[in-house]
Amino acid sequence: MIIAKNGLKLIRHEEPDPNISEILHDPTILENLSEARSYTAPMPANICFRIEKDNKVIGQICLKSIKWINHKAGISLFISKKHQAQGHGLQTLRAIIEYAFKRLNLYRLEAEVIDGNAPSLKLLEKTGFTEEGRLREAKYVNGEYKDLLRFGLLRKEYSG
């Protein structure tokens, strides 16, 4: 497939393309791209843990979209309805924060929460996350668009 416009051609290709790889040897180009292009070997983009209580799976927590060069990751957490509001989320989130900062040497953690999800907002506040922004009407839920709130936590802000 080729898209042509104003003297330029966009030519669809498959990765890796040797012509593109040649350009990527220029460090001034590479430093402004996604760090995935810098990896010499595959690095895990996600690390997930199931959460168990009394030998039963009650949820999952993940470090997602890990950017190893930038030392950051997103956090995803869910706990079954039956096991919510019992402190498991707080305990789990504190454990993954400590693991991310102390074992994986990450510097920044990020989380998104649907506006109006009071328990999740409270959980992030309790663990030191700071609200950094709002993505307006970015999540389609039950027939309506909801705002997503973006949160971040830096290692230097972590008190654990």
Per-residue pLDDT tens digits for 95-112 = 999 999 999 999 999 999
Domain ranges for the chain: 43-157
Confidence of residue 7 (pLDDT cuts 50, 70, 90): confident
CATH of 43-157, one of 3.40.50.1970, 3.40.50.10860, 3.40.630.30, 3.30.450.20: 3.40.630.30
Contacts of 62 (CB under 8 A, 6+ apart): 46, 47, 48, 49, 75, 76, 77
| pTM score | 0.76
- Alpha-carbon distance of 71 to 95, in angstroms, equals 18
Question: Under a CB-based contact definition with an 8 Å cutoff, are residues 74 and 109 in contact?
Answer: yes
